[in-house]
Structure 1
Amino acid sequence: MMDEYVERTARVLDQPYELSAIPATEPLPRRRDRVLEMPEVELGILDFLSLFGCELQVVAGERASILGRVMQPANRLRYEVRFIEAAEDCLPVMDDGELKDEVSEAVANKRESLPVAVWNATWGVEEVERLFTRTEGLYPLEPEPGTGNLAADLNTLNAMLSPLLEGETGTQLAGLGDIHQQWQAHQAPGQLIVTARMLITRLDDASDVIESRLKDRPLCLDGRPNNQSEVVQGMFFSVFIERVQPYLARVRRGRDDIIRPLAVLAERQRNVMPEAFEDWYARHLKVEGDDSLWAELDASQQRHIELWQQQLEECGLRPGA
């Protein structure tokens, strides 16, 4: 559609055109560059045995088991939360002062490292890679089933993690695994990013055509329409207004519904965000800023509309005039 739009714009304006190569988008940083090292804060075996009768013994025992040593990020986050809560419940009934100090220190250290566990359970999981795959083509012209569910899941995730990032461990994490599982069925974020890059390129191609015509001989003399200007106006309404603009609006809605919540998910964790993730985040998730792909798309769209307004105004055909 966009290739044809550039070609038809050039044809009705009687100008040469070129379909520029669409630059590749950068992949999500590799998992080894996204995952943060989680500090190990565990109780000694003798202290562990002395906690018999306290829930902390059960929680710490899970971590000490074979399966506990290879916990997936979501389960590790749940474990960290359970440890903090169980330890804080145990502290008031502890008689051993030395042990009490050790557990108190463990709680403090685990609270300090909790943002690392949250990061690994969101941006460090393998499932997030499916969201940002670049192999599933462009964002579809028509809505696809499930896209709304993805947007709802992202908002649910942000609401779930918000109190946790503020140090409140009472949040429920039962739905975290289901959200990760759903991510494997969605590719909209990656499609939106690839589409934004394509739209910038093709809008700029078409804008260059219009700009070259404006610098060339006037399409109309003394602001009076003619046969060619009527053809131009017809193409503008039938192609740009009726086909291209609705797609631009659809992509913008996708950005607001899907990319923005992902940006929030990353922004709230800036204090632990790996350096390797910073540039990718600023380029592909932030909707504002000099490096933002989305700000670049907004600028390309604005330039394109303004050039069309100038071109049509030259013939007294500017919409709304």
Structure 2
Amino acid sequence: MDEYVKRLANVLDVEPVYSDLIDIERIPRPRDRRLSIPEHDINMLDFLSLYGCELQFVVGEKNSILGRVMQPLNSLRYELQFIDAAQQCLVEIDNESLRTKLTQVIELKKQYLPRVIWNATWGTKEIAQLMSLSSGLYDPEKSQYEISSYNQDIVYVNKRVQQLLQGQYEQDLEYMGEIQQRWQYGSRAGQLHNSARLLISRLDDGTNILKQRIDENPLCLQGRPNNQAKILESMFFKVYIEKVQPYMSAVNSGADQLFQPLARLAKIQTEIMPRTFNDYYQQTLNLNYQENIWALYQQRIKEHTEAWQDLLEQCGLRPTPD
């Protein structure tokens, strides 16, 4: 893209200016993404009185050393197991006081479950790796298959999350865990962001060069093409159409496949989204927000293409649709 701006400036006898890349929000740190979950487990005396219920094994696992350091998805798995085992245990409890207490715990668990679900999706280290900006630019030749696979995976996660939010708690989270494991090995969403950031900035630079010749120093007089215009036309087809546009199209395609379902994964959880996540959500995931990076990207492509057309039209060389 730097070379594209340089060649465009050379053809039009304009000094190239390379703007700084636009600022972009990074996914917040874990402590700013994760929601606090109050402890509503039963105490040890009540636990001992539940001997014979499956719930004792679920609580016992949580109280083990490993259970105290559960990752977010395992915490969700535990909460679902607790609710299921506790509901089954209720029918076996004769002690009215314990029965009332366990009923209250179940309701509180359900009340806070959306927070646990949030932590198990947007609060994970795996999704942070998927969104990381530290792995360079998007390479469509290496990533095309992966993007398609990620699309299917995130659609699957959305379906499970939607069902959980609707109270369908009997969900197998094993495959969801496998999906999150795959997110650790490719920062494809972050790479797409890096490419969009670069393209927005350099398309802006190119548009400014084109507009200089349109507004300040017309390339052609009375719509008659000259040698310089013919060189520019050749560059339009051989560089912009044949080289730049295919990459922009690949970034478009990757973004559509990845960010449409990611946007939904965030949108269906906006009611409990932490405030510290909001700026990132707006710029990165809210596709209806005017300042969203993908809205800016589309706008810059449109402006750049129109500038090309306007300059070529000055020389009677405006391309016509096939």
TM-score per shorter chain, which class?
over 0.9
Deviation at 1:294, TM superposition (A): 1.1
Work out whether 1:219 is the aligned partner of 2:224: no
Counterpart-to-counterpart distance in 1, 2:60 and 2:67: 8
User: Which residues in structure 2 correspond to 1:27-42 (within 5 Å)?
Assistant: 27-42=26-41
Partner residue, 1:284: 284
**SS at 2:174's partner residue?**
coil
Aligned residues: 320
Deviation at 1:24, TM superposition (A): 4.5
Counterpart-to-counterpart distance in 2, 1:269 and 1:301: 31
**SS at 1:93's partner residue?**
coil
Counterpart-to-counterpart distance in 1, 2:176 and 2:89: 27
Counterpart-to-counterpart distance in 1, 2:221 and 2:106: 79
More helix by share: 2
Partner residue, 1:20: 19
**SS at 1:199's partner residue?**
helix
Deviation at 1:307, TM superposition (A): 1.0
**Match of 2:287, as an amino acid?**
V
Contact in 1 for aligned 2:28/2:277 (Cα 8 Å): yes
Contact in 2 for aligned 1:223/1:314 (Cα 8 Å): yes
**SS at 1:236's partner residue?**
helix
Partner residue, 2:171: 171
Deviating beyond 4 angstroms after TM superposition, the runs of 4 or more aligned structure 1 residues are none
Counterpart-to-counterpart distance in 1, 2:240 and 2:131: 29
Contact in 2 for aligned 1:312/1:318 (Cα 8 Å): yes
Counterpart-to-counterpart distance in 2, 1:8 and 1:288: 35
Contact in 2 for aligned 1:161/1:171 (Cα 8 Å): no
Counterpart-to-counterpart distance in 1, 2:288 and 2:295: 5
**SS at 1:16's partner residue?**
coil
Q: Provide the aligned C-alpha RMSD in A.
A: 1.6
Moved more, 9-18 or 73-82: 9-18
Partner residue, 2:128: 129
- 1:211-258 residue CA offsets vs partner (Å, 9 max, x unmatched): 010012322222222222211111001111111111111111111111
Contact in 2 for aligned 1:219/1:315 (Cα 8 Å): yes
Contact in 2 for aligned 1:56/1:86 (Cα 8 Å): yes
Moved more, 246-255 or 37-46: 37-46
Contact in 2 for aligned 1:286/1:294 (Cα 8 Å): no
Deviation at 1:292, TM superposition (A): 0.8
**Match of 2:105, as an amino acid?**
A
Partner residue, 1:270: 270
**SS at 2:141's partner residue?**
coil
Partner residue, 2:294: 294
State TM-score, norm by structure 2: 0.94
**Match of 1:77, as an amino acid?**
L
State TM-score, norm by structure 1: 0.94
Counterpart-to-counterpart distance in 1, 2:61 and 2:9: 67
Counterpart-to-counterpart distance in 2, 1:185 and 1:149: 13
Gaps of 5+ in 2: none
**Match of 1:219, as an amino acid?**
L
Deviation at 1:142, TM superposition (A): 2.3
Counterpart-to-counterpart distance in 2, 1:225 and 1:106: 79
**Match of 1:184, as an amino acid?**
Q
Contact in 2 for aligned 1:211/1:307 (Cα 8 Å): yes
